[in-house]
Structure 1
Amino acid sequence: MKLEGAIAVVTGAAQGLGLAIATHLAQAGATVVAADRDEAALARLPAPLQPCRLDVTDAAQVKAAAEAIAQQHGRIDILVNNAGVIMSEPFVNMMNPASLMHDLGRFEDCIRVNMTSVFIVTSAVVEQMVRRRTRGAVVNISSISATGNEGQVAYSAAKAGVNAMTSALAKELGRWSIRCNAVAPGFIGTDSTRRALSEATLKHIQANTPLRRLGEPVDVARAVASAIENDFMNGAVLQVDGGLTL
């Protein structure tokens, strides 16, 4: 699929990794709808990104937005499911005997924001692709944590679910010429990463990465573009981690 002239929706696109992806696609010639729930951040988006206030966990709101975008632009060619929140919490916290075990509510919130939202948004957008007979591309932003990361049981479970969903959708949607792939970043130097991890942890990660650095958002954006442009790539999970998981 050519990015030039394509209609793309990127969730969580008002800042960080999502903004880098949206900007990269727009620079390649796509018309990009940047969806996010942060109205203040949306107001700061540069042209030509088109802001769309959206809560990806609200199925009715997402369905209405997908219908409106498809109506306005005639179709949706590309969906990038980037919206999500990094969450770290030990399963057993010996430093807090009063709340020794991982909180169920926070586990469920993490699953809904990072995995259920992918189902909700993909369902709404793919409906528009199928109804309009659009040859589409879906790219889900996963994580190397999908294989299981200490202190991230909820986040790991959510991203593992995203990988499994990517595979299932790739098998099922291919008959409608809709491809589904995932990009699994390693540790990217975004504000959310620096909020989630201590400086000592980040230095340890860099020291154990063959390239000896954190990734840049554009590294992930280029992988997303590659998954969109390669028409025979389907069901792949692209690792973008500097070799950390080798």
Structure 2
Amino acid sequence: MFWPKKEWTLRIDGAVTLVTGGAKGLGLAIASHLHARGAKVIVADLNEAALADLPQGLEPRCFDMTDPDRAVEATRDICTRHGKIDVLVNNAGMIYSEAMINIIRPEQMMHDLGRFRRCITANLDSVFIMTSAVVEQMAMRRTRGVIVNISSISSRGNEGQTAYSAAKAGVNAMTVTWSKEFGRLGIRCNAVAPGFIDTPSTRTALSPSIVKHIEANTPLRRLGQSDDVAKAVASLIDNDFINGVILDVNGGLVI
């Protein structure tokens, strides 16, 4: 079993970094922040139009992160081009809300199993698939590495989000498990669990009254910003002794 040298360190500046779901929104904020810190950032996404509009300096990659063969192919190609992958940020996924039982709509009372599985595939399977592909390359090349998974405040269980909450709870469990498995290889694994972040999708999904309610119940009296999450991701990459942590970024809404 390969054990890393103690003096080896990994810093953001110059790190070859793969950000999934990074073509827009929170993922783009993370990718842009790491690029500004000097990382070589590859952005993976299925949205070809958004990839075409990436800021200068971000390298686009279009492939399906829920397809194991495509994930392995893309990962190997990136390593061939850049020599390695130092950092993987698993951000790809989808927010999905559906209650387990809906008494208001008797024609569709129970949670649909197909939609449940699609949510799990997008938010949990993709993390497993991408991490498997990237860690294989890290281990083969005997390089240090960092995995940062994007979880959610919903991982604690959020009413009306059975599938999404289950998926993000699974991400947390895999994060802690992998921190123990990969640590001896010099690969750290952590997660960031954002609370309510002020993005266009949040403003679309939540009514103004709900946003005000969330702000009033958050000790810092505001929604989070995308940059708050990006900085949290950067801190987990930079600190060589943080491993197996689920970092809450929610302004104290949940403690």
- Sort the TM-score into its range (normalised by shorter chain): over 0.9
Name the amino acid aligned to 1:232.
F
Could you say which residue in structure 1 is the equivalent of 2:232? 223
Q: What does the per-residue CA deviation read over 1:145-182, in whole Å, with 9 as the maximum and x for residues that have no partner?
A: 10100011110000000000000000000110000000
Q: Counterpart in 1 of 2:189?
A: 180
Q: What is residue 66 of structure 2 aligned with on the other side?
A: 57
Amino acid of the residue matched to residue 218 of structure 1? D
**Which residue is equivalent to 2:96?**
87
Cα distance in structure 1, aligned partners of 2:231 and 2:63: 25
Instruction: Tell me by how many angstroms 1:194 deviates.
Output: 2.4
Give the gaps of 5 or more residues in structure 1: none
| Counterpart mapping for 1:30-69 below 5 A | 30-69=39-78
Q: Could you tell me which residue of structure 2 aligns to residue 113 of structure 1?
A: 122
Q: Is the contact made by 1:76 and 1:129 (CA closer than 8 Å) also made in structure 2?
A: yes
The corresponding residue for 2:254 is: 245
- Aligned residue-pair number: 246
**Structure 2: how far apart are the matches of 1:53 and 1:36?**
5
Matched residue type, 1:121:
M
In the other structure, the counterpart of 2:105 is 96
Spell out, residue by residue over 1:35-92, the C-alpha distance to the aligned partner (whole angstroms, 9 max, x if none): 1000000000011000000211111111100000000000000000001111111111
**Cα distance in structure 1, aligned partners of 2:251 and 2:88:** 25
**1:126 corresponds to 2:147:** no
Which string of whole-angstrom CA distances, capped at 9 and with x for unpartnered residues, describes residues 80-115 of structure 1?
000111111111111210110111111111101001
Q: Could you say which residue in structure 2 is the equivalent of 1:203?
A: 212
CA–CA separation in structure 2 for the residues paired with 1:132 and 1:43: 31
- Aligned-pair CA distance for 1:201: 1.7
Query: Within 1, Cα distance between the matches of 2:170 and 2:101?
Result: 22
Residue of structure 1 in register with 2:147 after alignment = 138
- Is this contact kept in 2: 1:86–1:193, CA < 8 A? no
Contact 1:227 1:233 (C-alpha < 8 Å) held by counterparts? yes
User: TM-score under structure 2 normalisation?
Assistant: 0.95
- Contact preservation (8 Å) 1:86, 1:196: no
User: TM-score if structure 1 supplies the norm length?
Assistant: 0.98
Tell me the secondary structure at the aligned position of residue 104 of structure 2.
coil
Which amino acid in structure 2 is aligned with residue 67 of structure 1? R
Q: How far apart, CA to CA, are the structure 2 residues paired with 1:128 and 1:109?
A: 28
Structure 1: distance between partners of 2:202 and 2:143: 35
- Name the amino acid aligned to 2:23: A
Deviation at 1:30, TM superposition (A): 0.4
Alignment partners' CA distance in 1, 2:148 and 2:205: 24
Give 2:71's aligned amino acid. Answer: V
| Deviating 4+ runs (over 3 angstroms) | none
The residue correspondences of 1:151-162 to structure 2 (distance < 5 A) are 151-162=160-171
Q: Name the structure 2 match of 1:17.
A: 26
- The alignment's C-alpha RMSD in Å is 0.8
Task: Please report how far the alpha carbon of residue 27 of structure 1 lies from its aligned counterpart in structure 2 after TM superposition.
Answer: 0.3
